[in-house]
């Protein structure tokens, strides 16, 4: 009797182990470290107008976590509200980088004000679809470094000016870009970054044998704007969600991953 019961327990245990073993490693990893469940109110934010002439309704506040921090220089200003799609994108990307190259947190600058509209120091950032993200960086010995502010980097990946002791973290920054452009829910339109750092990142992606589709998207999404070289942060913009159009408005470029049909020119 006793022996039969023990045998049954062992059988059940073996079955449980087999089912865990059959799950893919990445699925198991994500189950163990799933990001906090989105609160219901997140689904209710609304982006109105353009990123440079718009507002945000019921903006969602980005919170710090084990994988994500607010850059101290901007932390007190309270411009950490975004469309829920953007906030979740940042959380997913931070978690992913942590899983693939552990040891550092994603450093986030400013998103939008709680109700959007003009934000000092930015031309866009008005309707919850823009965010400034600090680069992952290390000290000269390769240890992750969380800086008080954004730091500029040159083509050689070495910090400029007072930040000569810092290094651009190619591996983590590439993982971040790869995760952003591959996201299926929030579709990224722009990642502004200097030409020199863009070239470093694509080189890193090729060295890591990233899928051609991810490299292609990254190459097309990353660009250096004419008036602001973006040597010290990424500026990321996501497209409007289809159900928020036409109140939420996008302008070209409309890449193939634009969700839904692009609006007619001038509409």
Nearer to Zn ion, 94 or 191 (CB): 191
Nearer to Zn ion, 126 or 138 (CB): 126
Q: Which of 91, 132, 169, 204 binds Zn ion (CB under 5 A)?
A: 132
Nearer to Zn ion, 187 or 230 (CB): 230
- As beta bridge partners, residue 191 has 222, 236
CB 57 within 8 A of CB 209: no
Segment 217 to 246, residues that bind Zn ion, using CB under 5 A: 235
Task: Mark residues 55-84: x for contact with Zn ion by CB under 5 A, - for none.
Answer: ------------------------------
Q: Shortest CA distance to 59 belongs to which of 13, 111, 94?
A: 111
| Residues 110, 133: Cα–Cα separation, whole Å | 8
Phi first, then psi, for residue 245 (nearest 5°) are -85, 155
How near is the Cβ of 253 to Zn ion at its closest, in Å? 18
Segment 143 to 162, residues that bind Zn ion, using CB under 5 A: none
How near is the Cβ of 12 to Zn ion at its closest, in Å? 54
The number of angstroms, rounded, from the C-alpha of 4 to the middle of its chain's C-alpha atoms is 53
How near is the Cβ of 181 to Zn ion at its closest, in Å? 18
Residue 134: exposure state from Cβ atoms within 10 A (0-12, 13-18, ≥19): buried
Residue 58: exposure state from Cβ atoms within 10 A (0-12, 13-18, ≥19): middle
Q: Which helix (H) or strand (E) holds 6?
A: helix 2-22
Nearer to Zn ion, 89 or 210 (CB): 89
Nearer to Zn ion, 187 or 235 (CB): 235
Task: Mark residues 12-41: x for contact with Zn ion by CB under 5 A, - for none.
Answer: ------------------------------
Residues found near Zn ion in the complex (CB under 5 A)? 132, 235
């Amino acid at each position: 009797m006793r022996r039969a019961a023990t045998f049954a327990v062992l059988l059940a245990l073996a079955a449980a182990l087999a089912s865990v073993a059959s799950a893919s490693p990445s699925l198991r990893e994500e189950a163990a470290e799933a990001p906090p469940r989105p609160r219901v109110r997140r689904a209710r934010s609304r982006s109105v107008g353009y990123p440079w002439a718009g507002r945000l309704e019921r903006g969602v506040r980005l919170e710090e976590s084990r994988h994500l921090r607010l850059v101290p220089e901007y932390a007190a200003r309270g411009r950490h509200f975004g469309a829920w799609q953007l906030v979740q994108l940042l959380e997913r990307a931070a978690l992913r980088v942590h899983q693939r190259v552990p040891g550092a947190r994603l450093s986030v600058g400013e998103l939008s004000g709680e109700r959007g509209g003009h934000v000092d120091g930015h031309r866009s950032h008005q309707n919850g679809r823009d965010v400034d993200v600090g680069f992952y960086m290390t000290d000269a010995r390769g240890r992750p470094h969380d800086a008080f502010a954004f730091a500029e980097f040159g083509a050689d990946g070495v910090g400029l000016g007072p930040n000569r002791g810092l290094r651009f973290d190619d591996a983590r920054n590439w993982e971040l870009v790869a995760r952003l452009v591959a996201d299926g829910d929030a579709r990224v339109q722009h990642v502004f970054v200097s030409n020199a750092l863009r070239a470093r990142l694509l080189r890193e992606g090729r060295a890591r044998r990233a899928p051609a589709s991810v490299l292609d998207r990254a190459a097309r999404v990353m660009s250096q704007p004419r008036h602001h070289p973006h040597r010290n942060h990424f500026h990321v913009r996501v497209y409007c969600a289809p159900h928020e159009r036409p109140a939420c408005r996008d302008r070209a470029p409309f890449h193939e991953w634009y969700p839904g049909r692009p609006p007619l020119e001038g509409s």
